[in-house]
Amino acid sequence: MFDHLIDRAAQAVEIVPLRAQRLEAWMKRQPQSVGQWIRAAGFTAKPGSTCLVPNGEGGLAQVVVGIEEGLDRWSMASLPTSLPKGDYRLADEVDGAEAEAACFAWAIGAYRFQRYKKRSGDLARLVWPAGVDRPAVRRTVAALTLARDLINTPAEDMGPPHLAAAARAVAKAHKAKFNVIVGDDLLKRNYPAIHAVGRAAARPPHLIDMSWGTSGPRLVLVGKGVCFDSGGLDLKPSSGMLLMKKDMGGAALMLALSRMIMDAGLKVRLRLLIPAVENAVNGNAYRPLDVIRTRKGITVEIGNTDAEGRVILCDALAEAHRDKPDLILDAATLTGAARVALGPDLPALFCNDDDVAEALLRHAKAEDDPMWRLPLHKGYRALLDSKVADISNVGSGSFAGAITAALYLQEFIEPGTRWAHIDTFAWNNRDRPGRPEGGEALGLRALFSFVQAWAQPGKGKGSAIIAPKPAPRPRPVNQRTRRRR
């Protein structure tokens, strides 16, 4: 995976990353011939653009590449595949966070999904700069690669048993505890909602359960693992079914995040829960207006069998409370409404705690891995009312679909438990450097940065959110009286 990042090279061509506003000042410090060449080439340091500067012998002396203002993690991602084969090094003045970002861009820029179609051709290689945190780069790229590969794999080879096998491999590599409940055993163990959604498929439903760590705050991650979604009896049209291999993108994201947490050795007591199913059509498929029971005891009327993700998540969220966690994070490719509101690149964040939400958004901004908070507007809860059950799995009417889905999930969160829900697309719908069209773990870097700070009290603003909120101190009567005046 990292063959294109090397320790040293006898001869390596210098790469100079430049921002547009610094281009002229840099050229003034170069030999006149270099400036003339760059101007003749029409190079303006537009982010992602390159200019190959020759030496006097017909070879390559330098590569000048345009980058964004701020910490740019993507503009150099095209270089491993676009530059001539050979060895390259960053200019000496590139160090610290910028050098680490460049290494990340180089490594992730080499990603290709090659399970079924091998790509020929060697990649350009980059010499690791001194002082870069190599384990951090490797950790992030390996986790992104894991998630992308899982999402990109067709459902034929990525059903519930395959997803369980992938999680088992991650657990084994990090000496985590692993358990899986399959098929009718879900009924015996009181996970009726997961069973109801997955029972019609040829491959039985699974509940994947992994735990790791013996100290620190308790963190439960829950990921929607619908390995393929036909819509069930409320069958999707062919166009709506085309990308449904990615409907386990929430599970892939949470598994990748778990891998990063364990690889970094963060001091948390981690638990990962993935309900893995296929939403299929068969004689025993669950039906519109069926009423199903859930692990929490809440009854759910099925208003639409294509709103299956929230149905399987509710059993997992109920189970997530068993160890009284300090925080629950769930991720799901849950609603088209979130995509209508925010598009493909912005996961929607719902959270029942302002401190947690603000910390998540702060880390998302710092990592340039954005998400956007939407409200858990309690006024819309009535849209989920059912005349025959405790709740319906869909809202009445066509408005606020992402919010009503989140409000449905909130019904399975115990009061006082901090919880955040991420509604993600899990897909790049166009090619960009380092982000080829296909599966994507949107929010992964932001979530890891958040958990890393949260798990280390005193080492980041995010750590403060795990502290219990102190009860308000009563004020003396006379002090309150003065305040009123």
pLDDT in tens, 81-110: 999 999 999 999 999 999 999 999 999 999
Q: Per the residue annotation, which of 139, 269, 296, 310 is the catalytic one?
A: 310
- Which band of pLDDT confidence, cut at 50, 70 and 90, is reported for residue 420? very high
464 pLDDT exceeds 70? no
Residue 458, pLDDT above cutoff 70: no
The pLDDT value recorded for residue 57 is: 84
Average pLDDT over all residues of the chain: 93
Contacts 24+ apart (CB under 8 A), 456-460: 456/266, 456/267
Model pTM? 0.93
- State the catalytic residue, choosing from 112, 168, 236, 267: 236
- The mean per-residue pLDDT over the stretch 127-153 comes to 97
- Residue 479, pLDDT > 60, answer no
Is 433 in contact with 107 (CB distance < 8 Å)?
no
**What number of other Cβ atoms are within 10 A of residue 121's Cβ?**
6
| Distance (Å, whole) CA 172 – CA 168 | 6
Separation CA 113–CA 303 (nearest Å): 37
- Distance CA(77)–CA(105), nearest Å, equals 4
Instruction: Please report the pLDDT score of residue 469 as a whole number.
Output: 45
> Is residue 172 annotated as part of the catalytic site, yes or no?
no
**pLDDT above 50 (res 476):** no
Query: Going along 55-189, which residue ranges are E strands?
Result: 60-66, 87-90, 125-127, 177-182
Residue scoring higher pLDDT (457 or 233): 233
Answer whether residue 177 shows pLDDT above 80: yes
- Closest to 324 measured CA to CA, from 284, 271, 276: 271
**235-272 tens-digit pLDDT:** 999 999 999 999 999 999 999 999 999 999 999 999 99
Q: What are phi and psi of 295, to 5 degrees?
A: -60, -35
The domains located in the chain, with CATH, are 5-132 (3.40.220.10), 137-466 (3.40.630.10)
Residue 484 has a pLDDT of 38
- pLDDT (average), residues 425-430: 97
- pLDDT value of position 179: 98
Instruction: Give the Cα separation of 18 and 16 in Å (integer).
Output: 6
Angle between helices 134-152 and 96-109 (to 10 degrees): 30
